[in-house]
Chains A and B, each alone.
Chain A
Amino acid sequence: MSAAAERISLAPAAVKRRRTGGFWHRAARHVMRDKVALVCAIVLLAIALSAIFAPWIAPADPYKTSMLRCLLPPLSPKYLLGTDELGRDMLTRLLYGGRVSLSMGIAPVILATIVGGALGVTAGYFGRHINMAIMRVVNVFYAFPSVLLAVAMAGVLGSGIVNSLISLTLVFIPPIARVAESVTTQVRNQDYVEAARATGASAGRIIVQHVLANVMGPIVTYASSLVSIAIIISSGLSFLGLGAAPPLADWGLMLNTLRQAIYVAPVNAVLPGVMIFAASVSFNLLSDSLRSAMDVRA
């Protein structure tokens, strides 16, 4: 081999550089390596997809009642998971129920992340009086147990899906705001924020370009752990008659109506509970994995 060829083969390879990727890349890689989290992600994906495509894949009409074939046990002909107390197909209703329960788990958390995140970042970045004004109010709400607060809010606002969405959002704003505030307080004291201020940049610009990117990770990770709680509380509200109204298919509501049949058809009565359990545990374990992915600083 000539000397020239040797030189060519050495130079570009040395310059080429591996991109180590950002925060979300690393988090995703960690979750992929975590077997439990992977299973949870697959379960959630299955529930989500079946809920989204329920109208196309469901074997029956979720609202079609029949007194002749109520409370059929699972594995009955034509009714894979049996029927409920009004003779509606359980499988169909469970698929449809995922639409309400998953949205009620995710939507309030997203809304609360936006509102609570904004409040917390504002309080943390500006500090002093602004911090005190915001965090005092937040802490008053934080002092109530979340279930009690949700029930009280839903009770005041009245029943219905929108109202339970609002009350759940209000329940989750305080904890998210508190996390956002403490992370932002740490970040705003970093030298790079000081350096950004030294360039003469406005507070808004510094928050958007320097603070948000560095606080979103912890906030989103924390918020993801609230989804499972949101699913349970929203099911609880429906169970109490403060959330979804019949005949809408919702896991919490189904649990309530089938409760009376628990001695007649125990398996049917338990099925919605199994769905609530599976969804919330999956969310919980997945967010745990996300959290441990965060701690690993590569």
Chain B
Amino acid sequence: MSADRGGPAQPILIVNGLRKYFPLRGPLGTIDAHVQAVDGIGFDVRKGETLGVVGESGCGKSTTARLLMRLIEPDAGEVIFDGDPIGHRGISIRELRRNMQMVFQDSYASLNPRHTATEEIVFGLRVHGMGSKQAREQAHASLRLVGLEPGQFGDRYPHEMSGGQRQRVNIARGIALNPRVLILDESVSALDKSVQAQVLNLLADLKDRLNLTYVFISHDLNVVHHVSDRVLVMYLGKVVEIGPVERIYGDAAHPYTRALFASRLSMDPALRVGAAPLSGDPPNPVRPPSGCRFRTRCSLATQACAASEPLLREIAPGHQAACHALTGEMADAA
């Protein structure tokens, strides 16, 4: 594991103004429009925490994950890893990837069907210059860490394992390089509830043992509640709210976050609401609404929301939200 250079107070990741627009090409190959997948987001991830990222499908959660890993190039913005910017002036993308790994949602698709569990893990280790024998040992050690006995599972192909076992192999591959950050992109979403609980416990255990930091992306609000220290809420490519988990889940400020949490089913059927808290689909990210992107579905929207875009403002210590209504109320009270 590489050294903790910046000290405990230095956030492991600082994201500034990260933006990714995907071009939409017309029949002649000309760029007709852009999907504004991620539009100028900024946040930081503290050492040793789990940052939950929630939002509807298509809000840019996975694009954010892939931007962090540099699997796609951002159009603008910077990512700072433990004080070092990524790119020419700081650490290389290769170095970043050794320190930050990712676990994908689809456990089957993310394993090469022609590789055994051991081969799959060995590949990444060999890339970073480890000898073949040492890499095998390290791969077996990783498999043991995720609770798979190498003698029994090491030579299995993906189709010879269950979903939970495959996802464990994916996690083993992620931790084999001794990274400091693990990005979990819907990593437990496709698993059965019982298996999901086991994998979540495994992740919690690994986090303590290996001193990891997690970026936990999920649409499952209950799971995020369970694992996260802080939660980031995204809507249509923007960060609308970020704060400690108990604030977000107990006292959400942004109207979107409140609507999102109102959509959670209560354990008590009598308390379940009949009507959907939010109607309709999110607007088209090719042509998002002017000003606040949530205004078309927001019950509090006013003229001001169409005119200018709300910025993230601190509304309580460590708790930020981007909404004109909040800052307006505060102005009235003052």
Q: Is B43 an interface residue (CB 8 A)?
A: no
* B42 is an interface residue with CB less than 8 A from chain A: no
Tell me if B110 and A194 are in contact (CB < 8 A).
Answer: yes
**CB-contacts of B128-165 with A (<8 A):** 128, 152, 156-157, 159-160
B102 & A195 in contact (Cβ 8 Å cutoff): yes
Contacts of B120 on A, CB cut-off 8 Å? 192
Q: Give the docked Cα–Cα distance between A158 and B113 (Å).
A: 47
Size category, A interface = 20 to 34
The answer to whether B177 and A214 have CB atoms under 8 Å apart is: no
A205 partner residues in chain B, CB cutoff 8 A: 127
Q: Does B93 contact A (CB under 8 A)?
A: yes
Flag if A22 contacts B114 (CB, 8 Å).
Answer: yes
Q: Which of A58-66, A72-80, A196-204 contacts B (4 or more CB under 8 A)?
A: A196-204
B contact residues around A196 at 8 Å (CB): 112, 123-124
Q: Does B265 contact A (CB under 8 A)?
A: no
Which residues 46-88 in B have Cβ within 8 Å of A in the complex?
66, 69, 71
Name which residue of chain A comes closest to B156, CB basis: A17
A256–B156 alpha-carbon span in the complex (Å): 57
Which of B104, B156, B170, B177 is the one whose CB lies under 8 Å from A199?
B177
From the candidates A191, A198, A210, A214, name the one contacting B101 in the complex (CB within 8 A).
Answer: A198
Cα A20 to Cα B114 with chains together (Å): 12
Q: Using CB atoms, name the residue of chain B closest to A297.
A: B159
Asked if B28 lies at the interface with its beta carbon under 8 angstroms from chain A, I say no
User: Is B71's CB under 8 angstroms from A214's CB?
Assistant: no
Tell me if A201 and B123 are in contact (CB < 8 A).
Answer: yes
Within 8 A of B (CB), among A171-225: 190-192, 194-202, 205, 209-210, 213-214
- The residue that A201 contacts in the complex, of B101, B124, B152, B173, with Cβ under 8 A, is B124
- Do B124 and A191 have beta carbons less than 8 Å apart? no
Which chain A residue shows the least CB distance to B173? A195
Give complex CA distance A199, B110 in Å: 13
- Looking at the assembled complex, report how far the CB atom of A274 sits from the nearest CB atom of chain B, in whole angstroms: 41
Cα distance, A270 to B16, chains bound together (Å): 78
Closest to B97 in A: A200
> Which of B98, B110, B157 contacts A191, CB < 8 Å?
B110
B71 touching A200, Cβ below 8 Å:
no
> Chain A's interface: helix, strand, loop or mixed, by majority?
helix
Interface centre among A192, A201, A209 (most CB of B within 10 A): A192
From B127, B159, B160, residue with most partner A Cβ within 10 Å: B127
Q: Within the assembled complex, what's the spacing in Å between the Cα atoms of A289 and B109?
A: 27
Residue A5 at the B interface, CB < 8 A? no
Q: Which residues of the other chain, B, contact A126 by a CB distance below 8 angstroms? A: none
> Count the A-B residue pairs with Cβ separation under 8 angstroms: how many?
68
| A200 close to B114 (CB less than 8 A) | no
Q: How far is the CA of A234 from the CA of B170 in the complex (A)?
A: 50
Say yes or no: B69 contacts A214, CB within 8 Å. no
Instruction: With A20-B157, A210-B112, A214-B114 as known contacts, state yes or no: A198 contacts B127, CB within 8 Å.
Output: no
Is B106 at the interface (CB under 8 A from chain A)? yes
Interface residues on B, range: 20 to 34
Query: B127 near A192 (CB under 8 angstroms)?
Result: no
Instruction: Find out whether the CB atom of B111 lies under 8 angstroms from the CB atom of A192.
Output: yes
A122 → B minimal CB distance (Å): 20
Measured CB to CB, the nearest residue on chain B to A201 is B127
Complex CA–CA separation, A195 to B111 (angstroms): 8
Q: Is B94 an interface residue (CB 8 A)?
A: yes
State whether A209 and B123 are in contact (beta carbons under 8 Å apart), knowing that A20-B160, A195-B104, A214-B114 are contacts in the complex.
yes
Is A277 positioned at the interface, with any CB of B under 8 Å from its CB? no
Known: A15-B152, A199-B177, A205-B127. A192 touches B109 (CB 8 A): yes
B66 contacts which chain A residues (CB < 8 A)? 194
Cα A15 to Cα B115 with chains together (Å): 21
A17 to B124, CA, bound (A): 27
Say yes or no for A23: interface residue by CB 8 A criterion.
yes
Q: In the bound complex, how far is the Cα of B151 from the Cα of A15, in angstroms?
A: 10
CA distance A266 to B275 in the complex (A): 86
Residues on B with C-beta less than 8 A from A210 are 112, 115, 123
Contact status B160-A191, CB under 8 Å: no
Query: Which B residues are in CB contact (< 8 Å) with A17?
Result: 152, 156
Does B102 contact A198, Cβ atoms closer than 8 Å? yes
Nearest A-chain residue to B106, judged by Cβ? A191
Q: Which residues of B contact A201 (CB under 8 A)?
A: 123-124, 127
Closest to A209 in B: B123
Please, which residues of chain A bring their CB within 8 A of the CB of B109? Answer: 190-192
Q: Which of A23, A197, A198, A202 has the most CB of B within 10 A?
A: A198
Of the residues A20, A198, A209, contact of B71 by C-beta under 8 Å: A198
* B94 (CB) vs chain A CBs: closest residue: A200
Whether the pair A214, B112 counts as a contact (CB closer than 8 A) is: yes
Which of the listed residues A23, A190, A199, A214 has the most CB atoms from chain B within 10 Å of its own CB?
A199
Q: Which of A191, A194, A213 contacts B114 (CB 8 A)?
A: A213
A195 touches B110 (CB 8 A): yes
Further contacts, 12 of them, CB under 8 A, given A196-B112, A199-B173, A210-B115: A20-B160, A22-B114, A190-B110, A194-B110, A195-B111, A197-B71, A198-B97, A199-B124, A200-B93, A200-B128, A201-B123, A201-B124
5 nearest CB pairs, A to B: A199-B124, A191-B110, A200-B97, A191-B109, A201-B127
A-B contact pairs, 17 of them (CB 8 A): A17-B156, A20-B160, A191-B109, A192-B110, A192-B111, A194-B66, A194-B104, A195-B102, A195-B104, A196-B112, A196-B123, A197-B71, A198-B97, A200-B94, A200-B127, A213-B112, A214-B112
Q: Report which B residues bind A (CB closer than 8 A).
A: 66, 69, 71, 93-94, 97-98, 101-102, 104, 106, 109-115, 120, 123-124, 127-128, 152, 156-157, 159-160, 170, 173, 177
